[in-house]
């Protein structure tokens, strides 16, 4: 089976859900959560089928730059759809559905790097490390999107011009609690990812891994300091948002920056 059809179906469903949610918010109406969840799950199913076809090869997992981006986007959307049953996080879908649409299309149509990414051996320890890394990146991606929505909400409330989108947000305190919940979960997953890498990878400081390892460790420290500052010093608001964005940028540079350079610039 070719991944083109499920990729297009996923992109169309993501785009349709985004259009519906945007229209309802522009009308200052509440989107139907069940409809968003249903369309989101259908899009995610098509996305997953497309990814399965693109990832699996006879020699192992094929994780190039765009396929990895698509996989992490799918993981992020899955986490939010699961959280939707218990938490008021549907506003995050307004950012995540377009992300899913773009990444699934790039994975399908964007040209691969000059140097194709090597297949990853399907060893249990390495697969566990990959899974933990994807979940950590996914959870911290959710945290940064939550931080951006929190920044938008705080700006609108201070200027007393709440838009239709802001009117549908939970209270500011709830939004902030959600942010730190995502940060705690992401930091713990990142800790497990780094530990599994140390246990199962031959050399975390090999030439092709050293930048990824060092930047990931620095990001881990940044997020750890932010959580300590929240617990001990009561950090919140703009300070929490800034630290979240800094940690996220370091983490994305660690994975996607090194992958981009290796596959498209250095060709190794």
Residue 210 has pLDDT above 60, yes or no: yes
Listing DSSP states for 201-254 in one string gives SS-TTSTTTHHHHHHHHHHHHHHHHHHHHHHHH---HHHHHHHHHHHHHHHHII
Predicted local confidence at residue 9, as pLDDT: 97
Please report which helix (H) or strand (E) contains residue 43, including its range.
Answer: helix 33-55
Residue 69 has pLDDT above 70, yes or no: yes
Average pLDDT over residues 154-158: 78
Query: Are the C-beta atoms of 149 and 93 separated by less than 8 Å?
Result: no
Predicted local confidence at residue 105, as pLDDT: 95
Mean per-residue pLDDT over the chain, rounded: 85
Residue 82 to residue 262: CA distance in whole angstroms: 34
pLDDT digits (tens, 9 = 90+) for 32-60: 999 999 999 999 999 999 999 988 866 66
Spans of all domains in the chain: 1-121, 123-268
Q: What is the pTM of this model?
A: 0.84
Residue matched to tokens 């940044």: 222
Residue 132 to residues 15, 24, 55, 81, 95, Cα–Cα distance (Å): 29, 36, 17, 19, 23
For the CA atoms of 147, 73, 78, 177, the dihedral, rounded to the nearest 10 degrees, stands at: -10
For the chain, what percent of residues have pLDDT higher than 90?
A: 49
Q: Within 13 Å and on the Cβ side, how many CA atoms surround 213?
A: 14
Average pLDDT over residues 111-135: 69
| Residue in 146, 239, 238, 131 with CA at minimum distance from that of residue 184 | 146
Predicted local confidence at residue 129, as pLDDT: 86
pLDDT digits (tens, 9 = 90+) for 170-192: 888 888 999 999 999 999 999 99
pLDDT digits (tens, 9 = 90+) for 86-110: 888 888 999 999 999 999 999 999 8
Residue 162 to residue 153: CA distance in whole angstroms: 8
pLDDT digits (tens, 9 = 90+) for 2-35: 889 999 999 999 999 999 999 988 888 888 999 9
pLDDT digits (tens, 9 = 90+) for 229-238: 999 998 888 8
Predicted local confidence at residue 63, as pLDDT: 77
Residue 51 to residue 168: CA distance in whole angstroms: 33
């Amino acid at each position: 089976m070719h991944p083109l059809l499920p990729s297009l179906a996923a992109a169309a469903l993501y785009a349709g859900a985004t259009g519906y949610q945007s229209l309802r918010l522009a009308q200052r109406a509440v989107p139907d959560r069940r409809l968003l969840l249903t369309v989101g799950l259908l899009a995610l199913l098509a996305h997953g089928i497309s990814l399965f076809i693109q990832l699996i090869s006879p020699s192992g997992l094929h994780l190039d730059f765009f396929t990895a981006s698509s996989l992490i986007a799918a993981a992020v959307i899955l986490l939010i759809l699961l959280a939707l049953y218990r938490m008021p996080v549907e506003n995050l879908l307004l950012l995540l559905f377009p992300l899913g649409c773009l990444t699934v299309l790039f994975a399908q149509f964007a040209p691969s790097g000059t140097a194709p990414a090597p297949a990853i051996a399907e060893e249990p320890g390495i697969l566990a490390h990959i899974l933990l890394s994807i979940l950590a990146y996914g959870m911290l991606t959710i945290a940064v999107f939550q931080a951006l929505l929190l920044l938008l909400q705080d700006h609108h409330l201070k200027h007393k011009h709440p838009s239709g989108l802001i009117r549908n947000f939970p209270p500011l305190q709830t939004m902030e609690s959600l942010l730190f919940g995502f940060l705690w979960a992401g930091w713990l997953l990142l800790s497990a990812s780094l530990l599994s890498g140390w246990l199962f990878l031959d050399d975390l400081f090999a030439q092709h891994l050293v930048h990824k390892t060092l930047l990931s460790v620095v990001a881990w420290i940044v997020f750890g300091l932010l959580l300590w500052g929240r617990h001990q010093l009561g950090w919140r608001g703009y300070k929490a948002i800034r630290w979240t964005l800094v940690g996220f940028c370091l983490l994305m540079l660690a994975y996607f920056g090194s992958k981009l350079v290796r596959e498209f610039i250095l060709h190794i």
